[in-house]
């Protein structure tokens, strides 16, 4: 059975439009509560965090009502990063964790992500089971077993304290001037606080959320303002998070961007030298640059690739007992510290490298030369299936033949937006541009 509502990162869509409506959130809450409370015992608990979108209030209340109706006790964290929900689900011995966020998407979107009692995102099997319950008659709690809801005021503080413990005891970041861009999102309080408490001089950007400005010209997908701020203030480094702070990109002292591939290369090489990179292996997705693979191979390290989505990276890491993985987009998963991508903790690891080596960010975040890569997105409407068109399939076969031995091609539907992503890598940039441009034009012609 395939998943109808769950994508690569929970249920997502435009707020107040199906499936991201209050009614659907109520049903999802009841279905999740029924699934995790299926042993019939009372007293199950669920923690709920959210980012700063206006629609989070509506969805939070609807989810709470659905969960309480099945006897779940709800602990409301307020605005916290997604990784904080994973951490607090385990720390507070909850049966379920929920994050309300559409991550890097615009404020008009929202999403619901689920975490199991171990703090990891749910498996495909669990999501399929919850979807099945949406269509079933859910058994509601008796009047005397309806769940309670409670605000947890110190959830953010617990995460702030934990984030600091991921650095060696006594580490101080004194002397580092750091721009931190919180995308007007979930980390707008936590990230500057952690950096300040560790002794850094902090210049915050994107810390004035108003419900509608999350990711708006700020954050990991729009780092221009942060880059300008780094240069204007003579900062040593910039840390750019996305709306729910599970992604990060790093800016060097010149404002140049280093993506997740460069961060993973830095951490993998450091951890390998310290003999703490499990099995000498890094896990990344098919989107990671070929240059990363070559960099690792030259050092006797391995790259394992997965499907796109940090959940698939984590699944492979857990399956093989590996402790470092991530995505080019900036999800950096360090299972020694967190159960999901954590942009702030990954940023702290970069700052630790700077503090310990005395090297500038421009040196540390340029670990390898990227193979020229081009990615273009083509938006489609609901019901359209451009990838099934014969002309598109023929164009893909022709492109793969032309790239054989010179590069690689990846075409896929996004799991979070109605987009077809066309990506290719090739040393010959003229050929690269020709192939990607031709495929995009073919897909657009079909649409």
Spatial CB neighbours of 192, under 8 Å, sequence gap ≥ 6: 180, 182, 202, 204, 207
How many whole angstroms from its chain centre is CA 17?
Answer: 23
**Is the CB of residue 351 less than 8 Å from the CB of residue 244?**
no
Whole-angstrom CA distances from 423 to 1, 204, 334, 435 are 29, 33, 26, 10
Q: Is 179 helix (H, G, I), strand (E, B) or coil?
A: strand
List Cβ neighbours of 293 (8 Å cut-off, separation of 6 or more).
303
CA distances from 418 to 14, 103, 307, 381 (A): 11, 15, 18, 7
Closest alpha carbon to 325 in 337, 336, 309, 314: 314
CA 212 – CA 36 distance, rounded (Å): 33
DSSP assignment letter at 121 = B
Could you check whether the bond before residue 57 is cis, i.e. omega within 30 degrees of 0? no
Q: What residues act catalytically?
A: 103
Give, in degrees to the nearest 5, the angle at Cα 6 between 100 and 328: 75
Distance CA 150, CA 235 (A): 41
């Amino acid at each position: 059975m395939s998943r109808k509502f769950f994508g690569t990162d929970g249920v997502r869509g435009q707020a107040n439009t199906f499936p991201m409506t209050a009614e659907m959130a109520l049903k999802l809450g009841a279905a999740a509560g029924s699934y995790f409370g299926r042993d019939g015992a009372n007293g199950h608990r669920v923690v709920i965090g959210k980012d700063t979108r206006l629609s989070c209030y509506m969805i939070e209340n609807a989810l709470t009502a659905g969960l309480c109706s099945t006897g779940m006790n709800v602990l409301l964290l307020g605005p916290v990063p997604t990784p904080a929900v994973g951490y607090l689900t385990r720390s507070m011995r909850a049966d379920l964790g929920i994050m309300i966020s559409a991550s890097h998407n615009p404020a008009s979107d929202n999403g619901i992500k689920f975490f199991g009692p171990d703090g990891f995102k749910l498996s495909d099997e669990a999501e399929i089971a919850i979807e099945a319950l949406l269509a079933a008659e859910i058994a509601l709690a008796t009047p005397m077993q309806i769940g309670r809801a409670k605000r947890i005021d110190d959830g953010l503080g617990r995460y702030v304290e934990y984030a600091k413990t991921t650095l060696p005891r006594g580490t101080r970041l004194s002397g580092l001037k750091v721009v931190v861009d919180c995308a007007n999102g979930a980390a707008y309080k936590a990230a500057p606080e952690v950096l300040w408490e560790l002794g850094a001089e902090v210049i915050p950007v994107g810390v004035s959320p108003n419900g509608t400005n999350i990711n708006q010209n700020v954050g990991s997908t729009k780092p221009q303002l942060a880059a300008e701020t780094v240069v204007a203030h003579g900062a040593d480094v910039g840390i750019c998070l996305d709306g729910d702070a599970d992604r990060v990109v790093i800016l060097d002292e010149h404002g140049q961007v280093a993506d997740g591939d460069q961060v993973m290369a830095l951490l993998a090489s450091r951890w390998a030298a310290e003999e703490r990179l499990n099995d000498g292996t890094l896990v990344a997705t098919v989107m990671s640059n070929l240059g990363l693979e070559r960099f690792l191979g030259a050092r006797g390290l391995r790259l394992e690739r997965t499907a796109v989505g940090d959940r698939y990276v984590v699944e492979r890491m857990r399956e093989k007992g590996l402790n470092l993985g991530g995505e080019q987009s900036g999800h950096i998963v360090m299972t020694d510290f967190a159960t999901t991508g954590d942009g702030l903790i990954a940023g702290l690891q970069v700052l630790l490298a700077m503090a310990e080596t005395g090297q500038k960010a421009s040196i540390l975040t340029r670990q390898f030369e990227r193979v020229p890569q081009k990615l273009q997105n083509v938006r489609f409407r609901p019901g359209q299936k451009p990838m099934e068109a014969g002309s598109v399939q023929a164009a893909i076969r022709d492109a793969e033949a032309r790239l054989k031995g010179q590069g690689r091609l990846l075409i896929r539907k996004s799991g979070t937006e109605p987009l077809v992503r066309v990506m290719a890598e090739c040393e010959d940039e003229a050929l690269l541009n020709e192939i990607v441009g031709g495929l995009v034009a073919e897909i657009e012609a079909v649409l």
